[in-house]
Amino acid sequence: MSLEQELENALPDRIELRDICKTFIGRKQTTIALEQIQLSIAEGEFVCLVGPSGCGKSTLLNIIAGLEKPDSGEVLISGEPINGPGRDRMVMFQEHALFPWLDVLDNVLFGLKLKPGLAAKERLEVAKYYLQLVGLEHVEKSNIHELSGGMKQRVAFARVLAPNPRVLLMDEPFAALDALTREQLYGDIQRIWQARRKTIVFVTHNVREAVCLGDRVILFSPNPGRIFQEFEVPLPRPRDINSVSLAEYSLRITATLKGFTNPETNQVAE
Amino acid sequence: MKRGLISVLFFVILIGIWEAIAISGKFSPVLFPRCEQIVEYLWQSTCDGSLINATLVTLRRLILGYAIGLAFGIPLGFLSARFRFFHDTIGLLALGFQTLPSVCWVPVALLWFGQTEQALLFVVVMGTLWSVVIATEGGVRAMPPIYVRSALTMGSKGLHTWIHVIFPASLPYLVGGMKQGWAFAWRSLMAAEIFVTILTGFGLGQLLHYGRDLNAMDQVFGVMLVIVVIGLLVDRILFSPWEAFLHRRWGTSAAS
């Protein structure tokens, strides 16, 4: 495979979820994390899953990733049922999950080394390309602990982008960052998504974040975890999280959300 | 620089106090030798080769026993941490034997192997192995599970995950295990050498023992000093650079 081919945009994948059910049996109580989830995500679509804590949205993401198995139902990626984790679906976690024993460049190379058909020199070029894409080519030899929180998430982003997966799964990747860094990353992720065109499933409990990033926002309700309502976001891109139209749109979703969240345990940010 | 000076000053004062007590004559000079006598013993035994010889014999036994302990202890610790079957069998065995002071293996070793090198080796391995297993297991368990999950999603599995993720991720904890193993090996060898006399080689422990038999306190203290210095040197040469590297990479603060 030539380098040009490698850096070409891989065709994004279609994701279909059929009748996904998942129940956690605890010592004291049984939680129905997911009940009969049906969802179709188009090629290249950016979908945000929103809901209060405990509505099963992260569980669903782990199921799509293949890290957890559903009790029943199946996940189809471009028509094929999945079997465990796979390189076609990369996951970005809330914690950066970078390996502290490797430097920045080697972290980005980790996934590339597991991808067959690339020579060492090509891998290096690909890794540097993505580090440049996230604006961090100058820290490639740094240790992970020397980076700021935002830089770490950027490296993690480069790491999941590098093997050129067709699907990106993101589990609250910006939740632990400060507001200013987050806003920068909203810009970055929209820019990179438009350039690299991937199917993205993004889990968050922040409605505005979801409206800012998603083509579609899917609202989950807890106990049992179900899809409550879907919202198409018609706003033009690139979107600014501070814009009035975005805030107005978010308000509609938040109002729906308040309908089923107990105000005392309301953990949903507006 | 200033810290080095403080360390030196501390030991100079300590030696001064010792010397003062020895000179004061409150205790019999046989039991409380002056520093010069200890230095003289060290010098003489170095010149006639007996001290050097004993040190080499001891180090050979130590390195061999420690290496065997690590070679078996680290893999067993990993297995015990990752697989329930090994945790419930080897892990439990290790936990039990770890509580047994290593000197308790001396009678068994003597009866099984007689007064031979194998007897000493057996005691050292038994003293080292179990503590390495326990420390390694604890270290691997302390590793954050997110690394393995993240590696799985990037297409890593089986042996690749072990070599490229689980092993390096547990390195900082492994050093702890290896240090503990070293301490246990050192202690068990000294215990064994003091109790077991064998003709194929006199180690430092045996030299210490004869010092007692001969009422030669200068020899006893001299040998003890050598034992302490060897322990310090090993820590500095073997473990310190490694720990410093880990601190740099992981960003954990080094003890300062």
Q: Are B221 and B33 in contact (CB under 8 A)?
A: yes
Q: Contact B171/A101, CB-based, under 8 Å? A: yes
User: Do residues A145 and B251 lie in contact, with contact meaning Cβ atoms separated by under 8 Å?
Assistant: yes
Q: Work out whether strand A216-221 and strand A199-204 pair parallel, antiparallel, or are unpaired.
A: unpaired
Sign of CA dihedral B139, B83, A98, A269: negative
Tell me whether residues A93 and B250 touch, CB distance under 8 A. no
pLDDT by residue (tens digit) across A179-214?
888 888 898 899 888 888 889 999 998 999 999 999
Residues in chain A: 270
**Alpha carbon separation from A88 to A16, A80, A95, B221, B244 (Å, rounded):** 15, 12, 21, 67, 38
DSSP string, B91-141: IHHHHHHHTS-GGGHHHHHHHHH-SSHHHHHHHHHHHHHHHHHHHHHHHHH
Residue B134 amino acid letter? I
In Å, what is the CA distance from A266 to each residue of A94, A171, A209, B11, B41? 20, 20, 17, 63, 78
Whole-number pLDDT of residue A1: 52
Chain B residue with minimum CA distance to A169? B153
**Which residues of chain A neighbour B249 with C-beta distances below 8 Å?**
100-101, 143, 145
- Interchain pair B250, A85: CB under 8 A: no
Residues β-bridged to residue A24: A31
For residue A269, pLDDT over 50 is answered with: no
Closest to A36 (Cα-Cα) out of A16, A17, A57: A17
Residue-range domain boundaries for chain A: 3-88+167-265, 98-164
Residues 154-183 of B with CB under 8 A from A: 154-156, 160, 164-165, 168-169, 171
Which residues on neighbouring strands pair with residue A34, listed in sequence order? A22
List, in sequence order, every beta strand (DSSP E) within chain A.
Answer: 15-25, 30-41, 46-50, 72-77, 80-81, 89-92, 167-171, 199-204, 216-221, 226-232
Strand arrangement of the beta sheet that strand A226-232 belongs to: A89-92, A167-171, A199-204, A46-50, A216-221, A226-232
Residue A188 has a pLDDT of 87
Q: What mean pLDDT is predicted for residues A167-182?
A: 89
DSSP per position, A54-92 = TSSHHHHHHHHHTSS--SEEEEEETTEEP-S--TTEEEE
Kindly state the greatest CA–CA separation across chain A: 56
The architecture of the domain spanning B33-250 is Orthogonal Bundle (1.10)
DSSP assignment letter at A219 = E
Closest chain A residue by Cα to residue B245: A101
pLDDT at position A256: 84
Question: For the segment B46-63, what is each residue's pLDDT rounded down to a tens digit?
Answer: 999 889 999 999 999 999
A vs B: CB pairs below 8 A: 61
> Model confidence at A31, in pLDDT bands (50, 70, 90)?
confident
pTM of this structure: 0.80
- What would the two tokens of residue B21 be? 């007590």
Residue of A217 and A224 predicted with greater confidence: A217
Q: How large is the average pLDDT for residues B69-95?
A: 91
**Tell me, what DSSP letter sits at residue B216?**
-
> Contact A92/A169 with Cβ under 8 angstroms?
yes
| Residue A41: predicted pLDDT | 92
The domain A3-88+167-265: what is its CATH number? 3.40.50.300
Q: What is the Cα gyration radius of chain A?
A: 19
What tens digit of pLDDT does each residue of B218-232 get? 899 999 999 999 988
